[in-house]
């Protein structure tokens, strides 16, 4: 087959087959949502899933691997979200083809095979290839020279910036060697290829990096030091879309068959033809973002307001806003999901299997955004109006639009340009950085269980897990670490099950002659089971190396856990029967006390559906179905109808747990041996987690018994109190509420009557001043009564009256004024009057013109205020 005729699928396959022929094992792409690395938001390199192996944990003894890894990069030097779609070769989602050596081959083979694949299998023009090595890597330079025959001036040297690859602030790293391809005019090559702007690693995109070979030999630890790794490794990453563009002879990644079916549909459905220049930006943005959003959702992420979900929401909104530029005012991105499934569904079946759900989530999110978009445009108009004659929209405003309405800054820029304005980019960047450092500060708090520092190592053997069959065993410690009084321990053999697939870790004890350790949690970091515990007797130190420990799991807790786990599978099956096949697990937590199951579904379950689900599960329980676990090939398990979970990374050999044909799931967890052991299954709540995801919580076995016992205690005490049978309780409570309401109503009207009567008594002996009846009274009423009295006075007061009430209770006094409408018009406003009197009485207050009140603690001054009333009224009336 001639290389330039290959489809993208054939290119991917030929890479993988090439490395399989060199003894590499194909390892499926990990989901883009990281499984167990809190330092990563999305998988961003092929090596992520092998991080632990590089750091020395290689329990399966993997030597060589290859694959095409799904990656998402939304930040970084060249990958700012706002720039994607403007050029032809940066993406938020891309595939990274990779080959790895774990302490096996090194520079010689890596370079030889890279050259062989590029020039002998894919027949790339040698005159267009350039390589770079780390500045002092003479070894790699010499190999390149010998293998490729490239002249010295095309084996270029660069420093740390370009040729030393690190996964993050800490982690595996090493010098690297990149391969660049010249997409330009070869005739002008000599003049430009070493140019810092126009040449290799320059800012111009004529020379494009296609493949990075990292010679992974160090670990960067938290102090910043480089520590040599136990073995020398190779980690390579090739930009799949870029290589497709080169092999298919097109200038832009978007013109390859990876993107063209999607771009064509965007053009067809929007009626706006695709343009390879700037006018095609919306098409490119939508096509790119469709891929990252869809894969992220298919792998278990959901749009939300924080962390990963927030990034996802931003990407989706940017795509949606560009769809608007193509005239789309209805959800558009979601319609493209089946087109994507068609183009990559063979390589990544998850996108095909979950396309209905992915499309539904995107649709709901777009729908919501379209509604806020108009609000955002209003806000934009307001910001522009506030600018006055200024011509630059301040950075914090651009950020506010971004943050609150999801307005991508490049679009704000575009809207601004339409009005002859510009945006303050540096100011926006500052606001953005401030937010990022807030987010980073929050993230740093998570425990870095991946750290390989601080361990005391006794032996290198990998842990053998015996917990499926045994609750306890004899074992030795292979390594341990102490951090703030908490021990992390790795064992030679362990019965402890680590938290995984939603099932919480076992609890138990680790006991030797001298030492006792209480294990309170067990986690799995990559493939290593780490027991977390506290010492309750003795000390753990170098001398514990040969100590024999008895490791025992708390069997009672584990039995509860088994019940809940098997019940979760039955619940999953029942939900699919009652609601439909769109129900897919979205998360689960199986603990000894209860279970929680999150699943895709778009509306709340009705009470009838909940009963149906509960009944179905209990029917399976009562049928006492044997729970079978079988090890089999992934394909066979899927063919037999087993459900695979979102975002789960499965090996080729999987464990299938089934309960007759009702439930078949791929699962590594612990289960009862017969469904009858689950006991009663009882749902305790149904709620919403986010758009498209519902949650059911439930209990089983003794948990159900306890729940029912509690409920029945409450019922019996209600029966006692209400002196009735169960069926009458609700009626009695309703009646009691009714009668309480009636009593309250009566009480209010009685109070009103009383206060009216009291008011009547007080509104006597008026002094007539300029035609206004002025009442001034000194009282001693309780506070509540005084307030009621004021209500009464207000109701009784006739049109040309004003009442001044001076009340004392204990050591505090109040002055209240109530003024009728008529006297207010004459200038007697209750608020003003009270204010002036309060000043005389050493207090403070004010209020509305019809009624106002003030308080004072200086009771001896009250008399001054009382005697000032008449003069004050006169003064106001004659003004």
Contacts to ligand SER by CB under 6 A? 45-47, 98, 165, 212, 214, 235-237
CB contact at 8 A, 545 and 515: no
Residue 236 CB, nearest approach to ligand SER (Å)? 5
d(CA 74, CA 441): 19
Residue of 168, 178, 113, 173 whose CA lies nearest to 141: 178
Judged by CB, which is closer to ligand SER: 218, or 332?
A: 218
Q: Where are the beta strands (DSSP E) in 88-140?
A: 93-101, 129-134
Judged by CB, which is closer to ligand SER: 216, or 802?
A: 216
Residue 99 CB, nearest approach to ligand SER (Å)? 9
d(CA 398, CA 299): 32
Residue of 530, 468, 873 whose CA lies nearest to 672: 468
Chain center to CA of 780: 62
* Three-state DSSP string of 616-657: HHHHHHHCCCEEEEEEEEHHHHHHCCCECCCCCCCCCEEEEE
Q: Which residue has the tokens 């004050």?
A: 872
Residue with the CB atom nearest ligand SER in the bound state: 237
d(CA 72, CA 56): 26
Residue 96 CB, nearest approach to ligand SER (Å)? 6
Residue 71 CB, nearest approach to ligand SER (Å)? 8
Residue 167 CB, nearest approach to ligand SER (Å)? 7
Judged by CB, which is closer to ligand SER: 237, or 533?
A: 237
Judged by CB, which is closer to ligand SER: 214, or 504?
A: 214
Judged by CB, which is closer to ligand SER: 174, or 502?
A: 174
CB contact at 8 A, 77 and 213: no
Upper half-sphere CA count for residue 182 (Cβ side, 13 Å):
22
Residue 78 CB, nearest approach to ligand SER (Å)? 12
Residue of 499, 615, 507, 630 whose CA lies nearest to 565: 499
CB contact at 8 A, 794 and 851: yes
Rg (CA), the chain: 37
Upper half-sphere CA count for residue 352 (Cβ side, 13 Å):
8
Judged by CB, which is closer to ligand SER: 98, or 467?
A: 98
Q: Which residue has the tokens 């509540």?
A: 784
> Which helix (H) or strand (E) segment is 742 a member of?
helix 726-762
Judged by CB, which is closer to ligand SER: 166, or 791?
A: 166
Residue 189 CB, nearest approach to ligand SER (Å)? 25
Residues with Cβ < 8 Å from 666, sequence gap 6 or more? 634, 637, 642, 643, 644, 645, 648, 650, 654, 655, 656, 657
Judged by CB, which is closer to ligand SER: 71, or 862?
A: 71
Residue 46 CB, nearest approach to ligand SER (Å)? 5
CB contact at 8 A, 594 and 564: yes
> Which helix (H) or strand (E) segment is 812 a member of?
strand 812-819
Judged by CB, which is closer to ligand SER: 179, or 616?
A: 179
d(CA 152, CA 144): 9
d(CA 652, CA 763): 93
Judged by CB, which is closer to ligand SER: 177, or 493?
A: 177
Residue 349 CB, nearest approach to ligand SER (Å)? 24
Residue 528 CB, nearest approach to ligand SER (Å)? 22
Judged by CB, which is closer to ligand SER: 98, or 280?
A: 98
Residue 234 CB, nearest approach to ligand SER (Å)? 9
Residue 70 CB, nearest approach to ligand SER (Å)? 13
The strand pairing partners of 585, in sequence order, are 599
Judged by CB, which is closer to ligand SER: 182, or 235?
A: 235
Judged by CB, which is closer to ligand SER: 65, or 637?
A: 65
* Three-state DSSP string of 456-514: EECCCCCCEECCCCCCEEEECEEEEEEECCEEEEEECEECCCCEECCECCCCEEEECCC
Residue of 565, 566, 568, 603 whose CA lies nearest to 582: 603
Residue 237 CB, nearest approach to ligand SER (Å)? 2
Q: Taking each helix axis from N to C terminus, what angle separates 726-762 and 783-796, rounded to the nearest 10 degrees?
A: 70
Residue 118 CB, nearest approach to ligand SER (Å)? 16
Judged by CB, which is closer to ligand SER: 243, or 401?
A: 243
């Amino acid at each position: 087959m001639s290389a330039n005729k290959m489809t993208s699928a054939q290119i991917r396959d030929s890479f993988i087959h090439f490395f399989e022929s060199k003894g590499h094992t194909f390892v499926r792409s990990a989901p883009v949502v990281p499984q167990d690395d809190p330092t990563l938001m999305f998988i961003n390199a092929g090596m992520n899933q092998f991080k632990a192996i590089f750091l020395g944990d290689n329990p399966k003894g993997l030597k060589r691997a290859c694959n095409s890894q799904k990656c998402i990069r939304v930040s970084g030097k060249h990958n700012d979200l706002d720039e994607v779609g403007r050029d032809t070769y940066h993406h938020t989602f891309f595939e990274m083809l990779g080959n790895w050596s774990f302490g096996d081959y090194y520079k010689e083979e890596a370079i030889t095979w890279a050259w062989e694949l590029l020039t002998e299998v894919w027949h790339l023009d040698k005159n267009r290839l350039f390589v770079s090595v780390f500045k002092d890597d003479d070894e790699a330079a010499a190999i390149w020279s010998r293998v490729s025959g490239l002249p010295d001036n095309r084996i270029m040297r660069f420093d740390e910036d370009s040729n030393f690859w690190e996964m993050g602030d800490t982690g595996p790293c090493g010098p690297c060697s990149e391969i660049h391809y010249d997409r330009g005019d070869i005739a002008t090559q000599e003049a430009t290829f070493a140019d810092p702007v126009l040449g290799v690693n320059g800012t111009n995109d004529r020379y494009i990096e296609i493949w990075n070979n990292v010679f992974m030999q160090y670990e960067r630890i938290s102090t910043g030091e480089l520590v040599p790794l136990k073995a020398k490794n190779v980690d390579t990453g090739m930009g799949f879309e870029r290589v497709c563009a080169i092999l298919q002879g097109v200038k832009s990644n978007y013109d390859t068959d990876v993107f063209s079916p999607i771009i064509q549909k965007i053009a067809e459905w929007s009626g706006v033809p695709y343009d390879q220049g700037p006018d095609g930006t919306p098409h490119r943005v939508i096509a790119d973002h469709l891929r990252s959003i869809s894969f992220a959702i298919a792998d278990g992420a959901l749009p939300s307001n924080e962390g990963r979900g927030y990034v996802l929401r931003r990407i989706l909104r940017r795509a949606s806003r560009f769809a608007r530029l193509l005239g789309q005012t209805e959800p558009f991105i979601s319609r493209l999901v089946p087109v994507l499934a068609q183009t990559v569904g063979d390589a990544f079946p998850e996108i095909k299997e979950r396309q209905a759900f992915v499309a539904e989530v995107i649709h709901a999110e777009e729908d919501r955004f379209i509604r806020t978009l108009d609000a955002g445009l209003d806000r934009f108009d307001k910001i522009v109006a506030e600018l006055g004659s200024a011509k630059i929209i301040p950075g914090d405003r651009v950020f506010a639009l971004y943050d609150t309405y999801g307005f991508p800054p490049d679009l704000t820029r575009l809207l601004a340009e339409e009005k002859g304005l510009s945006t303050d980019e540096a100011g926006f960047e500052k606001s953005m950085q401030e937010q990022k450092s807030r987010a980073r500060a929050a993230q740093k708090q998570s425990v870095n269980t991946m750290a390989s520092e601080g361990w005391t190592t006794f032996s290198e053997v990998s842990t053998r897990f015996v917990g499926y069959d045994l609750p306890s065993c004899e074992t030795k410690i292979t390594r341990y670490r102490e951090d703030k009084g908490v021990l992390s321990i790795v064992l030679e053999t362990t019965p402890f099950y680590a938290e995984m697939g939603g099932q919480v870790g076992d609890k138990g004890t680790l006991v030797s002659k001298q030492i006792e350790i209480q294990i309170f949690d067990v986690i799995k970091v990559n493939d290593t089971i780490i027991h977390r515990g506290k010492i309750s007797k003795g000390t753990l130190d170098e001398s514990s190396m040969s100590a024999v420990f008895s490791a025992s799991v708390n069997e009672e807790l584990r039995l509860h856990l088994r019940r809940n786990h098997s019940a979760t599978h039955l619940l999953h099956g029942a939900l699919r029967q009652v609601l439909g096949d769109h129900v897919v697990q979205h998360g689960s937590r199986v603990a000894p006390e209860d279970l929680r199951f999150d699943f895709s579904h778009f509306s709340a379950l009705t009470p009838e559906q909940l009963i149906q689900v509960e009944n179905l599960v209990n029917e399976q329980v009562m049928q006492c179905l044997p729970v079978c676990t079988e090890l089999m090939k992934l394909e066979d398990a899927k063919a037999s109808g087993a459900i695979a979970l979102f975002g789960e990374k499965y090996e080729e050999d999987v464990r299938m747990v089934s309960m007759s044909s009702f439930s078949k799931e791929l699962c590594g967890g612990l289960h009862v041996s017969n469904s009858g052991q689950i006991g009663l299954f009882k749902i305790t709540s149904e709620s919403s987690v986010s758009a498209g995801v519902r949650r059911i919580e439930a209990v089983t076995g003794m948990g159900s018994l306890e729940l029912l016992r509690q409920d029945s205690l409450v019922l019996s005490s209600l029966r006692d109190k209400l002196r009735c049978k169960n069926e009458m309780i609700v009626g009695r409570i309703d009646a009691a509420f009714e009668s309480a309401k009636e009593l309250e109503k009566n009480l209010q009207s009685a109070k009103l009557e009383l206060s009216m009567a009291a008011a009547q008594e007080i509104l006597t002996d008026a002094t007539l001043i300029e035609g206004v009846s002025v009442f001034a009274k000194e009282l001693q009423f309780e506070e509540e009564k005084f307030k009621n009295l004021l209500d009464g006075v207000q109701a009784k007061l006739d049109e040309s009256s004003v009442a001044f009430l001076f009340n004392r209770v204990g050591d505090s006094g109040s002055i209240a004024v109530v003024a009728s409408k008529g006297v207010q018009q004459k200038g007697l406003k209750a608020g003003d009057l009270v204010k002036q009197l309060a000043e005389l009485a050493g207090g403070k207050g004010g209020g509305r013109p019809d009624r106002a009140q003030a308080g004072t603690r200086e009771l001896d001054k009250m008399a001054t205020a009382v005697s000032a009333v008449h003069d004050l009224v006169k003064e106001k009336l004659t003004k």
